[in-house]
Structures are given as structure tokens and as C-alpha cells.
Amino acid sequence: MSTFRVELKKIVDDSYDIEIGYGLETKLINDIKFGIAGNIQKFAIITDSIVKDLYAERIMQLLIQSGMQADLFVFEAGEKSKTRRTKEEIEDAMLEKGYRRDCCILAVGGGVVTDLAGFVAGTYGRGVPFINYATTLLAAADASVGGKTAVDTPLATNLIGLFHQPKKVYLDIAAWKTLPPRQIASGLAETIKHACLANRDFFDYLNVHIADLKTFDKAVCEHIAEENCRIKYSVVMKDERESGLREILNLGHTVGRAIETVSDYRLLHGEALAIGMAAEVNLAHELGFMTKQERDMVIDLLQKADLPTSIPSYIDRNVLVQKLYTDKKVKNGKLRFVVQKGIGDIVEYENGVFAIPIDESTARKIIMTMS
């Protein structure tokens, strides 16, 4: 009978700062006082059972001392907690404590915390602001920047989520010293991924300095934090919603995410990614985009970082091949991989399209012949 048009054209400014430094808790509190999240007095601090004692508790005390309301919402550390159930439990606890739309969520922790807390923030009261205080190399390298938030499902990782940009990101390098070596290596996998897709000089730098990161050499930590950041935000600024270029950040993740789920999270995200990177460089070599020497250099660097590059014996490779179809890049039932070109560049399949259709037989051959 009638047609009405609802005009909703928008100009949105979701710009934010990423601050890199050491022990940034006081800086965070001062920024909050000066309105980084607007005129908000209530802070729901979402953290995990490890980071609670290391950082989150102190941040809560500082907020309370500054006259604000702050409460901790803590879940069991580990990827297995990144679920809809944990999200629901946190939401119910926040409702119970009287948190409404006039709150800000403060994510304090690694990638699991920032992914989950960002998703809570994106849907709580139809969206409240959030701030990321990243305490791991993995969160600094990837998860805390770019506004991707999500939870895992039994089928695969990160299938349910939304884009919601933080008000600010703090990368606390001092916190890296609290990480076990496996977690440092896990963060290095995302770092090596960045070097492989965007910056050959950074790759060479990592080759020389990777051991210095393990001893927390200040200059090396800072360079790694800054370079990761530069690569990540340059891509996100051009394609926030992954309609093209942002797909390149998926390098190594087609096999990586699949093996992470098939391992039932025995592999940390970065460990799974390292195996995915090994598969991807084998594929790139098979397709003629990398020389044997370049492929071996990537595998060597992953190994230097104490990361796995072969498929563990407990993984059923046929199940792994089928799991590839849960990847978000699959289109019309066809597998698509991001493939690097040499070291420091990515193959552009078509104008603005970076994920290349790959036959299952080719993917299967790579997976079946890997060590």
C-alpha cells in the first residue's frame, strides 16, 4: 500500500589510539578520567583466572580509588572458555550487579579475553564501549587490534561474533615477562605471519633477533610490538570489514583454525597457526609462488621460534581436510586459501580478491604429504 524510506546514511568515526609501553595501568586510569570512554563511571572488567591476580585486580582497585564503580568478571583461562556459554554467564553476572547501558567494558588479558569481552560489549545493551588492555604478545600482535570479536563453537573457532572497535588499545610489554614460553611462541606465530605477508625486512629482523625476544630485550620487544601494530592497522584501516584486503591477515589460518579445533585446543592458537603456515608455504611452493629456499626459510623461522611445523600424530588428517570447509573464506562450497608470494608479499587472485580457490585434491595432497 505505502512505501517509506528510512534514511540511515552514516558517517562514523571509530578511530582510536594504540598505546605501546610498560606498566600502563596508571595511564589507563588517567585516560579514563579524561574521558577516553566518555562520561562513564561504571567499569566491568572482564579477565581470566590467570590475569586476574596479575593485572585486573590492581586495575579494579585503581578505578575504585578514583571514585568509579568497577567489578571483576572472571572466567577460566584458555581457548576452551571462549564460548557462548561463558559470554552468557558474564552477561548474567553483569546484569545481576546492575550494569546497564551506561557502562564500559574493560578487557584485561590475552586474545581470548579481548575477543570475548569485545563481543560482550558489542551486544550488551545493544552495544557499550570497551577498552582493550592486552597482556600477551598474541593479543598485541593480532587480537586486540582491529575490532574483530567472537566466540568459538564446537564446529569451529570464531564463527559467531561481530565487528566492534575498542575506544583504545593498550599493549603492555612488561606483561610479556609473565608469559610461559609456549605463549610467547604462540604470539610469535602471528608475528611471523605479519612478516611473511607484508615485510621482508621484518622477516629478516626476526631471523636475527628471535632469541633476543625470549630474553625480553627491550629494543627487540618494542620493535616487534610496533611492527606488528603497523602491519595490522594499515590493513584494517583499508578494509575494516574484510571485504577484500583484510583477508590477507588470514594467511596460514585455513589449516591453522581447522587444526586448532580438531586438536580440541591441545594446540594453542599460535601453534596451530604455525602448522597452518607450514601448510600454506608448501601450497605456495606447489603453486609456484615461493621457491623451495623461501619455503624452507619460513619453516626454519617458525622452528627457531619453538613452534611446531608438522601435524601431530593424534590428528586424523582426513578429519582435518573436512574441517577446512568450516573456514569463513569458503565460497560456494569451494576452499579458498590466502597464499604468500615469496616472503613479504601476498598473491592477489583478482582485483581486490586475495583468497585463491583451491581444489580439495590439492589441499588434501599438502596435508597428507606434510611431515
CB nearer ligand GLY, residue 142 or residue 152: 142
Residue 269 makes contact with ligand GLY by CB under 6 A: no
Q: Name which position in 118, 122, 129, 146 contacts ligand GLY (CB under 6 A).
A: 146
Q: Is 268 in the site for ligand GLY (CB under 6 A)?
A: no
Give how far the C-alpha of residue 250 lies from the chain's centroid of Cα atoms, to the nearest Å. 10
Which three-class secondary structure string do you get for 325-343? HHCCCCECCECEEECECCC
Q: Contact with ligand GLY (CB under 6 A): which of 42, 148, 257, 329?
A: 148
* Residue 196 binding ligand GLY, by CB under 6 A: no
CB of 246 to ligand GLY, least distance (A): 5
Q: Cβ 145 to ligand GLY, closest distance in Å? A: 8
CB of 14 to ligand GLY, least distance (A): 15
Query: In sequence order, what DSSP letters do the residues of 103-123 get, joined into one string?
Result: EEEEEEESHHHHHHHHHHHHH
Closest CA to 251 of 277, 288, 275: 277
Q: Is 75 in a helix, a strand, or coil? A: strand
Question: For the window 240-259, what string marks contact with ligand GLY as x by the rule CB under 6 A?
Answer: ------x--x----------
Task: Phi first, then psi: give them for residue 354, nearest 5 degrees.
Answer: -115, -15
Residue 247 Cβ, how far from ligand GLY at the closest point, in Å? 8
Least distance between ligand GLY and beta carbon 40 (Å): 26
Q: Which three cell numbers mark 149?
A: 570479536
Binders of ligand GLY in range 105-144 (CB under 6 A) = 142
State which residue, 148 or 329, has the beta carbon closest to ligand GLY. Answer: 148
Minimum distance from residue 273 beta carbon to ligand GLY (Å) = 10
User: What value does the CA radius of gyration of the chain take, rounded to a whole number of Å?
Assistant: 21
C-alpha cell at 346: 601476498
Task: Give the separation between CA 355 and CA 95, rounded to whole angstroms.
Answer: 41
How many residues touch ligand GLY (CB under 6 A)? 5
Distances (CA, A) of 250 to 102, 288, 322, 327, 337: 35, 20, 19, 10, 8
For ligand GLY, which is the closer residue by CB, 100 or 241? 241
Q: Is 329 in the site for ligand GLY (CB under 6 A)?
A: no
Give how far Cα 152 sits from Cα of 83, 149, 272, 299, Å.
5, 10, 15, 28
Where does this chain bind ligand GLY (CB under 6 A)? Answer: 142, 146, 148, 246, 249
